[in-house]
């Protein structure tokens, strides 16, 4: 017996194991079909499922294929096969085949339903499919969905199909898909659905009345605050500024707000290093009321101004704005105030003693004269920024003034600036407020009242300057009405705005709350379109003569920039434009200094429009579609013009030329959802 067993074991040991099968798989909704080539010398095969690192035998068979049935749709499975060769009652097994990863197909979507249809778009929905990664919607004007078929991919069980042809039938079906192991598994297609797109009513026209005129426009700009004093020394400073001031490659801004620093550069008590500035003051002789200057200071910022003038041309308007008097003149030697911890403006402490009003006025005039002599067209000097606030221990430069102090300082400064080519600007208010709040005069209007009660001031000022923060359309209307009724003929200039997190009027407040990291910069089209809405309201409700954004270039995580750079590292090539930049360009690139706003009436409440007549006779109509779901159209009704060009900023376009050609009265223009379109019409 021992000898016989030895012979059997020896025979088994002599049997060579077969090769491992090479297995492929295909699937349906509920089955997986495995197949492989027959292995030479194999007596049969065992099929296994594989889960949690364990093999479970499903079947022993001699055929080189197996269909696994009754599986769950849209589900992943893993299998392996090994061959065997018999030797007596024993089996000699191959190694397991490679693991075969396969998914069953998702079920075909059901319940395809047209939720809404309006103008040239339709919204579809269907029931969610278990295991689906996403869906592809097929649509066509062909009822058989065989010609002119387009697709729309979505991760959810809804789809808004846009840019459909007006007054047409469209047919739809949808297919689910599942991505597993780098392979896509498609379901069968759903049943068809049908929709009819409605045509925009013909009476919804934009009627331009060239004889009904409003304000004359200075133009559009941004400030050079903070980052310009850094990147102005970079080798690619012109590449950055080209986005802002190049009329061909950029958005053609024509106003440059130069930040005249108070000299806080070395003040480490100011937490934000980037907000500290170089100053021009070298020394002050208080006894003789004289200031000695070093105008080689702030070289990087001055270089930016030089480049901007090169790009924009000699007619670049320059505003010199001061957030704080020079630290050499302030009470605490800082570029921010003490505030005394008070909340009411009338009880806060100013950081500029009245004894230094003469010196501060002289400083503002001397700096302005320096830039004029350097060849710049200085049009405005703004010595006071949002004086209602305390700027107490602020992260940026600032100085509080009471209404009475502001009035007194302006009277001194106006006398200093007599016969100058530039104008002293009135205080820059933080918001466009109405006349009264809770029965009391609003803070801004307390300043207005105090300033204009002085005869020197009232004879000089013809423009009220305000920032656009915390001001909705209704409040702006009240502000405009108050100005007209109280100070007839006074103009309004909007000199600063960004989409602050705590400002509910931005239109992106909720979106900002959901963002984090770089998303907080608000690069997307929603931010751009909502900024354009603010510009529209300021131009058509406040009748603003100019409009300025806050930071032309930013480096942080905040929706305050038009362009973003990497100010922390050494890679200066990082230049990231926002949709805000291009949406502002829909105004600044085409509406020139001296343009007059003319009446443009429209019955479309979803489509904002404003019209401007340039000095050269060209007409600019700017449309803003703030809706996310409607592609709108408008017919421009005006006579006397022969050519047009339309430029669009949208999710997929940056101030791009989208159409041009012959113009005739009633020309139809397309304005996609969430877009700004500028139409330039010429004779």
What does the pLDDT look like over 13-43, one tens digit per residue? Answer: 667 899 999 999 999 999 999 999 999 999 9
Residue 143 has pLDDT above 50, yes or no: yes
**Mean pLDDT value across residues 123-127:** 95
The distance between the two most distant Cα atoms of the chain, rounded to a whole number of Å, is 131
Residue 429: Cβ within 10 Å count:
28
3-state secondary structure 364-409: HHHHHHHHHHCCCEEEEEECCECCCCCCECCCCCCCCCCHHHHHHH
Q: What is the pLDDT of residue 567?
A: 75
251-307: pLDDT as tens digits = 999 999 999 999 999 998 887 778 899 999 999 999 999 999 999 999 999 999 999
User: Between helices 237-245 and 299-312, what is the axis angle to 10°?
Assistant: 50
Are residues 557 and 517 in contact, defined by beta-carbon separation less than 8 angstroms? yes
Q: For 310, what's the count of Cα atoms within 13 Å in the CB-facing half-sphere?
A: 11
Question: What is the rounded CA–CA span in Å between residue 4 and residue 22?
Answer: 37
Reply yes or no on whether the pLDDT at 437 is more than 70.
Answer: no
Say how many C-beta atoms besides its own lie within 10 A of residue 184's C-beta.
11
- 81-93 residue pLDDT tens: 999 999 888 899 9
- Residue 2: band (very low, low, confident or very high) from pLDDT cuts 50, 70, 90: very low
Across the range 349-359, mean pLDDT stands at: 96
Percent of all residues in the chain with a pLDDT value above 70, rounded to a whole number: 94
Q: Output phi, psi for 398, to 5 deg.
A: -175, 160
CA 190/CA 489 separation, integer angstroms: 65
Report, as an integer, the average pLDDT of 152-175. 89
Which residues lie closer than 8 Å to 15 by C-beta, 6 or more apart?
A: 85, 87, 92
Of the given ranges (171-180, 435-444, 577-586), which has the lowest mean pLDDT? 435-444
pLDDT given for residue 459 in this prediction: 97
* pLDDT value, residue 345: 65
Q: What is the pLDDT of residues 528-583, one digit of tens each?
A: 999 999 999 999 999 999 999 999 999 989 999 999 998 777 789 999 999 999 99
Question: Does residue 297 contact residue 226 with C-beta atoms inside 8 Å?
Answer: no
18 or 341: whose pLDDT is higher?
18
| Confidence bin at 624 (pLDDT 50/70/90) | very high
What percentage of the chain carries pLDDT values higher than 90?
80
Q: What is the pTM of this model?
A: 0.72
Give the single-character DSSP code of 230. Answer: H
Strands 317-321 and 377-382 turn out to be: parallel
In tens, the pLDDT along 311-340 reads 999 999 999 999 999 999 999 999 998 765
Give the per-residue pLDDT at 11: 55
């Amino acid at each position: 017996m021992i000898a016989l067993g030895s012979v059997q074991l020896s025979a088994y040991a002599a049997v060579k194991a077969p090769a491992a099968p090479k297995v492929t798989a295909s699937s349906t909704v509920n089955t997986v079909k495995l197949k492989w080539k027959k292995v030479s010398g194999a007596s049969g095969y065992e099929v296994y499922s594989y889960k949690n690192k364990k093999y479970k035998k499903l079947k022993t068979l001699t055929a080189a294929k197996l269909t696994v049935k009754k599986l769950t749709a849209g589900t992943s499975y893993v299998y392996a096969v090994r061959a065997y060769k018999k030797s007596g009652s024993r089996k000699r097994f191959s190694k397991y085949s490679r693991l075969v990863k396969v998914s069953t197909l998702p079920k075909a979507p059901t319940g395809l339903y047209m939720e809404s249809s309006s103008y040239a778009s339709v919204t579809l929905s269907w029931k969610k499919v278990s295991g689906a990664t996403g869906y592809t919607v097929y649509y066509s004007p062909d009822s058989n969905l065989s010609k002119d078929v387009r697709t729309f991919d979505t991760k959810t069980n809804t789809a808004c199909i846009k840019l459909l042809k007006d007054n047409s039938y469209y047919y739809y079906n949808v297919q689910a898909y599942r991505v597993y192991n780098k392979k896509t598994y498609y379901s069968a297609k759903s049943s068809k659905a049908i929709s009819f797109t409605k045509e925009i009513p013909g009476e919804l026209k934009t009627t331009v009345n060239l004889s009904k005129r409003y304000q004359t426009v200075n133009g559009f700009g941004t400030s050079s605050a903070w980052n310009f004093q850094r990147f102005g020394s970079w080798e690619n400073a012109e590449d950055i500024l080209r986005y802002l001031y190049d009329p061909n490659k950029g958005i053609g801004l024509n106003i440059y707000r130069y930040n005249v620093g108070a000299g806080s550069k070395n003040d480490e008590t100011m937490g934000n290093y980037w907000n500290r500035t170089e100053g021009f003051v070298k020394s002050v002789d208080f006894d003789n009321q004289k200031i000695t200057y070093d105008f080689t200071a702030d070289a990087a910022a001055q270089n930016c101004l030089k480049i901007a003038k090169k790009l924009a041309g000699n007619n670049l308007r320059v505003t010199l704005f001061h957030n704080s008097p020079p630290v050499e003149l302030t009470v605490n030697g800082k570029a921010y105030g003490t505030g005394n911890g008070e909340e009411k403006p009338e009880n806060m402490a100013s950081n500029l003693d009245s004894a230094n009003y003469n010196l501060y006025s002289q400083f503002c005039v001397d700096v302005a004269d320096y830039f004029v002599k350097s060849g710049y067209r200085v049009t405005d000097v703004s010595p006071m920024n949002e004086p209602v606030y305390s700027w107490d221990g602020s992260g940026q430069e600032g100085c509080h003034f009471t209404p009475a102090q502001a009035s007194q300082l302006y009277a001194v400064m106006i006398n200093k600036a007599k016969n100058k080519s530039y104008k002293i600007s009135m205080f820059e208010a933080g918001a466009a407020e109405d006349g009264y709040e809770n029965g009391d005069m609003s803070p801004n209007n307390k300043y207005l009242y105090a300033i204009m009660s002085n005869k020197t001031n009232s004879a000089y000022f013809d423009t009220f300057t305000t920032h656009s923060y915390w001001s909705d359309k209704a409040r702006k209307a009240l502000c405009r009405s108050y100005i007209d009724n109280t100070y007839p003929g006074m103009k309004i200039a909007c000199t600063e705005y960004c989409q602050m997190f705590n400002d509910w009027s931005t239109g992106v407040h909720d979106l900002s709350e959901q963002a984090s990291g770089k998303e907080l910069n608000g690069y997307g089209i929603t931010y751009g379109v909502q900024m354009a809405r603010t510009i529209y309201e300021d131009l058509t409700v406040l009748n603003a003569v100019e409009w300025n954004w806050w930071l032309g270039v930013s480096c942080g995580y905040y929706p305050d920039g038009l362009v973003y750079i990497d100010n922390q590292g050494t890679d200066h090539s990082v230049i990231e434009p926002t949709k805000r930049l291009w949406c502002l360009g829909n105004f600044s690139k085409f509406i020139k200094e001296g343009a007059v706003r003319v009446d443009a009436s429209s019955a479309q409440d979803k489509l904002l429009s404003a019209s401007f007549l340039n000095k050269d006779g060209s007409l600019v109509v700017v449309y803003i579609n703030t809706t996310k779901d409607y592609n709108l159209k408008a017919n421009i009704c005006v006579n006397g013009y022969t050519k047009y060009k339309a430029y669009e900023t949208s999710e997929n376009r940056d101030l791009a030329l989208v159409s041009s050609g012959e113009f005739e009265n009633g020309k139809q223009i397309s304005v996609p959802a969430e877009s700004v379109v500028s139409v330039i019409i010429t004779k």
